[in-house]
Each structure stands twice: as structure tokens, then as C-alpha cells.
Amino acid sequence: MSERPANLTPPTAELHVHIEGTLEPETIWELATRSSIELPYEDIDDLRSRYRFEDLQSFLDLYYQNMQVLVTAQDFADMTSAYLQRAAVAGVKHVELFFDPQAHMARGVELTTVVDGIFSALAESTERYGMSSSLIACFMRDRDPAEAMHVLQQLLEMEAPVIGIGLDSAERDYPPRLFEEIFALARSNGLRLVAHAGEEGPADYVRQALDVLRVERVDHGVQSLADPELVARLVREQIPLTVCPLSNVALRGVPTLAEHPLPAMLEAGLKISVHSDDPAYFGGYVDTNYTAIQGVFGLSREQLAQLARNAVDSSFISPSRTRELHGEIDRWLAE
Ligand code: ADE
Ligand code: ZN
């Protein structure tokens, strides 16, 4: 955990964090011990040494493997509580938390166990930390869309406390259009829509996410830069892109942070905000992402505040909560 004072980074909204990606090695070890699960690692250091990746798939292999320690509702609640505690230190005032129902159901864990566990912890975020929070169910693009449809129907039937759906997991060769029906059903039921697109996949997947899935926000979207016409549209329509700088470096989307297109994206007038993705795996929570980009690009406090305002404006909170968070960012800027 960081010893740095929180006021170096602005209060913000975290819109791109996978709760399963917040499982720190120590927690994985504790949960495995609690449930007598045999992990394929010699010890915690051996597990830690695996946190180096070639690409998205090499990360996903470890990410899904480590989830086997999540069995009971208490496991999901403890993981979520640990995240909220760390996020509060990072200055997160509002979180829209992703989870991957299929990754757990495929292992035989009931959907209600997952949802009840995560939500029981999330429901305490306001009282404990003054943090508003909501839940977004992500569907895995490398599994059968029919399965995603079935899970969505179950979520709707059980009136699960989710505000929206997303799309994640391996991207290449899994175009967004495969999930058109699922997103249409979610939309007709009043759910908000987001999708990972243009992380490793081509700019055209960003276009499909917008035109076929009708998403309101694009997760990552960095590959859009290869397509000037798409960039012009994203700027014109002010489509929010949730950018995750440390994730992009860890998964080798960019060779180094200094080569990250974030300054070019800001310069182009894109509505970008900064997020952590899978903080336990990629070297830090949202505050660490802010300090890393500030250090490398020399961003001013006003530029950091603008990124935080973009996050707030890209979220699904009410106008009154938006005003509160803008006030918090203004106060931080005046410190
Ligand atoms: N699931 C968790 N993290 C992810 C990422 N960075 N891209 C796609 N799917 C994910
Ligand atoms: Zn992600």
C-alpha cells in the first residue's frame, strides 16, 4: 500500500476496475488456505513472480486461474471490502465496479453467491467511506454469446442490483457485433451499456461497440487512434473512453509509459479519464495511475483535475452527485 499523501492526486470516479483484478497475492493465499484449495504455486513469492505478462491473454490465464479461490459469498464480500478500503485511500469518491459472472458460474459458483457477496460489501461504501458505488456485470467475449444471454436473463429475473452491462476478456477475433442481442435486451430493460473495445482489437471494434451495441462509454479505446475518422467522431460526440495507462504498459499495448498516447488523446480533445483496470496485477490503483502519468508527462494539477472531471462526467451518477464531486475536485485544486 502506498505511503504517499492522497492529496497529490484528485478525488475521482473509478469507472474501469474489475473486482477480480483487485485480488492481491496475499488475499489469494489467505482465501485458498481458508477453503483448503491447492494452488499451483510453491509460495506467495512464486505467485508474485507470475505477475509479468506478454499480452492480454497471458494475463487472463492467470486472472481466471486465481479466481478459483472465490467460493463463498463471504469470499466475494471480503475481496470487495478490501478493494473499497484501498480505493478510499486512492481518493475514489464513486465506483462503477465490474465483475465477471460467467467466470464464476463456469466453476460451479451460483450467480446469487457472487452478486450477494459483492453487493453486501458495496452497500456499505457510502456509510464507511462516503463513496457512492454501483455494479456492472461484464460478459466474456470469448465464451458463447448464448451463455451471456442466459446469464443476463437470470440477472434480470433475480432483479440483481446491477446498473449496467459490459463486455470483456480476450478481444481479438471476438467482434462486438456477436453480442448485439444481449446488449439490445439489456438496453430495453433500462440497463446502462459499456464495452471494452480497442484494447488489443482494431479501431473497427470501437465503431461496432458504438453502432451495433450502442454503448455509452468505451473501455480502453486506445486503438481508435489508428483511425482518424473514428477519432474525429469520438471527439465530436464526446464519447467517454476509460483509459488505463499502467494496464496498457503491463499488457504491452505500449512499450513504455512515456510512449503512451494519453497526451495525444488529451490534445485531440477526446473525453478520456484514467482508471486502474486490474490494479493488483498491473502495479497500482487509480492514484498510482495518476502519479505515474503525472511523473512521466509532467501534467499540471489542472490537467489532473480535468481527467477527474471527465471521469465524473462519464459516470452514471445523478446530476446532484455530479455537482458534489465537481465541488470536491475544485476544493482539491484549491488546496
Ligand atoms: N478482464 C479483466 N481485465 C481485462 C482487460 N484488461 N481486458 C479485457 N478483459 C479483462
Ligand atoms: Zn478492463
For residues 198 and 221, the answer to whether their CB atoms sit within 8 Å is yes
Residue-wise pLDDT for 203-239, tens only, equals 999 999 999 999 999 999 999 999 999 999 999 999 9
Q: What average pLDDT is seen over the chain? A: 97
- Rounded Cα distance, 115 and 157, in Å: 13
Active site positions, annotated: 199
Cβ neighbors of 234 (< 8 A, separation 6 or more) are 206, 218, 221, 224, 241, 270, 271
> What lines the ligand 1 site, CB under 6 Å?
18, 21, 56, 63, 168-169, 196, 199, 247, 277-278
Residue-wise pLDDT for 254-286, tens only, equals 999 999 999 999 999 999 999 999 999 999 999
Q: Which atom of ligand 1 is nearest to the CA of 140?
A: 9
Q: Is it the case that residue 1 has pLDDT exceeding 60?
A: no
Residue-wise pLDDT for 139-178, tens only, equals 999 999 999 999 999 999 999 999 999 999 999 999 999 9
Cβ neighbors of 285 (< 8 A, separation 6 or more) are 2, 86, 87, 89, 90, 276, 279
DSSP-derived secondary structure letter, 156: H
CA of 59 to the centre of ligand 1 (A): 8
Q: What is the number of the ligand closest to the CA of 278?
A: 1
Mutate to test the pocket of ligand 1, among 15, 18, 83, 174 (most ligand atoms within 8 A of CB): 18
- From the CB of residue 214, how many other CB atoms can be counted at a distance below 10 Å? 14
CA of 11 to the centre of ligand 1 (A): 24
- Provide mean pLDDT across the span 22-39: 97
Q: Is it the case that residue 4 has pLDDT exceeding 50?
A: no
The 3-state secondary structure of the chain reads CCCCCHHHCCCEEEEEEEHHHHCCHHHHHHHHHHCCCCCCCCCHHHHHHCCCCCCHHHHHHHHHHHHHHCCCHHHHHHHHHHHHHHHHHCCEEEEEEEECHHHHHCCCCCHHHHHHHHHHHHCCHHHHHCCEEEEEEEEECCCCHHHHHHHHHHHHHCCCCCCEEEEECCCCCCCHHHHHHHHHHHHHCCCEEEEEECCCCCHHHHHHHHHCCCCCEEEECHHHHHCHHHHHHHHHCCCEEEECHHHHHHCCCCCCHHHCCHHHHHHHCCEEEECCECHHHHCCCHHHHHHHHHHHHCCCHHHHHHHHHHHHHHCCCCHHHHHHHHHHHHHHHHC
- Provide mean pLDDT across the span 97-103: 99
Q: How far is CA 205 from CA 104, 108, 167, 177, 244, in A?
A: 26, 31, 12, 8, 18
- Rounded Cα distance, 148 and 145, in Å: 5
Q: Which domains does the chain show, CATH number per domain? A: 12-312 (3.20.20.140)
CA of 240 to the centre of ligand 2 (A): 14
Q: Which residues surround ligand 2, an ion (CB under 5 A)?
A: 277
Q: Which atom of ligand 1 is nearest to the CA of 199?
A: 7
Residue-wise pLDDT for 234-249, tens only, equals 999 999 999 999 999 9
pLDDT over 90, % of the chain: 98
Please tell me the predicted confidence (pLDDT) of residue 5: 52
Please tell me the predicted confidence (pLDDT) of residue 7: 86
Residue that has been written with the C-alpha cell 489467505 in this structure: 30
Q: Is it the case that residue 135 has pLDDT exceeding 80?
A: yes
Q: What is the number of the ligand closest to the CA of 99?
A: 1
Name the β-bridge partners of 132: 94
- Rounded Cα distance, 246 and 279, in Å: 9
Please tell me the predicted confidence (pLDDT) of residue 167: 99
Listed residue (162, 170, 175, 216) closest to 194, CA to CA: 216
Residue that has been written with the C-alpha cell 477527474 in this structure: 308
Q: How confident is the model at residue 131 (pLDDT cuts 50, 70, 90)?
A: very high
Q: Whose CA is nearest to atom 8 of ligand 1?
A: 169
Phi, psi (rounded to 5 degrees) for 191 = -85, 150
Residue-wise pLDDT for 84-99, tens only, equals 999 999 999 999 999 9
CA of 280 to the centre of ligand 1 (A): 13
Residue-wise pLDDT for 282-331, tens only, equals 999 999 999 999 999 999 999 999 999 999 999 999 999 999 999 999 99
For residues 14 and 87, the answer to whether their CB atoms sit within 8 Å is yes
CA of 335 to the centre of ligand 2 (A): 32
